């Protein structure tokens, strides 16, 4: 007897969809003007950003700024930092 699970639904309040995605469904999933910032993913588990909502673009901009700052900070710290021995005293 085969275990027949539906290809889409919710488990513990989190949506999932394992139906074969089509190009139209993929595009319409990321652009839903009448929906909130987070929408169900077209394939997989969870939520994704709705690019028709302005809040999604703000979130993407914040992430981009943080990534640029992190990369800039790493490159500067390696250039300025000279390796010196560290003395550890244990009593």
Q: Where do the domains of the chain lie?
A: 8-79
Region of 46 (left: φ > 0; alpha: ψ -120 to 50; beta: rest) is left
Mean pLDDT of the chain: 87
Percent of the chain with pLDDT over 70: 88
H or E segment at 16? strand 14-17
Residue-level pLDDT at 50: 95
Residue-level pLDDT at 34: 92
For residue 16, pLDDT over 90 is answered with yes
Residue-level pLDDT at 64: 96
**Do residues 32 and 47 make contact, with C-beta atoms less than 8 angstroms apart?**
no
Write out pLDDT tens, residues 18-33.
Answer: 998 889 988 999 999 9
H or E segment at 79? helix 54-80
Query: Is the pLDDT higher at 22 or at 62?
Result: 62
DSSP E strand boundaries for 23-66: 38-40, 44-45, 47-49
Percent of the chain with pLDDT over 90: 56
């Amino acid at each position: 007897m085969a275990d027949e699970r539906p290809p889409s639904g919710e488990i513990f309040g989190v949506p999932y969809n394992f139906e074969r995605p089509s190009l139209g469904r993929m595009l319409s999933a990321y652009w839903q003007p009448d929906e909130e910032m987070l929408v169900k993913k077209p394939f997989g588990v969870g939520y994704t950003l709705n690019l028709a909502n302005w809040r999604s673009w703000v979130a993407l901009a914040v992430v981009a700024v943080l990534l640029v700052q992190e990369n800039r900070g790493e490159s500067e710290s390696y250039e300025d930092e000279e390796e010196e021995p560290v003395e550890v005293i244990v009593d």
